[in-house]
Amino acid sequence: MAIIGHDHQIAAFKAAFAGDRPHHGWLLTGPQGVGKAMFAEQAAVWLLAGKPAGDAFDAAADTAAQSLINACSHPDFRRLVRTEDDKGKLRAVIRIDEVRALQPLFRQTPSIADWRVVIVDSADEMNIQSANALLKSLEEPPQQTLFFLISHTPGRLLPTIRSRCRTLRFNRLPDAAVDNVL
3-state helix, strand, coil in the chain (%, to 5): 40, 15, 40
Q: What is the pLDDT of residues 33-62, one digit of tens each?
A: 899 999 999 999 999 999 888 777 887 777
**Angle of CA points 40, 8, 142, to nearest 5°:** 40
Looking at residue 21, its pLDDT comes to: 78
Please report whether residue 178 resides in a domain. Answer: no
Q: How far, in Å, are 27, 49, 126, 149 from residue 152 at the CA level?
A: 10, 28, 13, 10
Distance CA 39, CA 9 (A): 9
CATH number at residue 113: 3.40.50.300
Q: Does 1 reside within a domain?
A: no
With a cut of 70, say whether residue 13 has pLDDT above it. Answer: yes
Domain assignment present for 128: yes
7 occurs within a structural domain = no
User: Do 32 and 125 touch, CB atoms closer than 8 A?
Assistant: no
Q: How many domains does the chain contain in total? A: 1
Confidence of residue 181 (pLDDT cuts 50, 70, 90): low
Q: How confident is the model at residue 5 (pLDDT cuts 50, 70, 90)?
A: confident
Residue 50 structural domain: 23-75+91-170
pLDDT band, very low/low/confident/very high, at 1 (cuts 50, 70, 90): low
> Which is nearest to 35 in space by CA: 173, 175, 180?
173
Instruction: Render pLDDT for 132-174 as a digit per residue (tens, 0 to 9).
Output: 999 999 999 999 999 999 999 999 999 999 999 999 999 987 7
Is residue 81 assigned to a domain?
no
Give strand pairing partners of 27.
Answer: 149, 167
Q: How many residues does the chain have?
A: 182
Please write the tens of the pLDDT for every residue from 117-127: 999 999 999 99
In a domain? residue 82: no
Query: DSSP readout, 136-151?
Result: HHHHSPPTTEEEEEEE
Helix H or strand E encompassing 178: helix 175-181
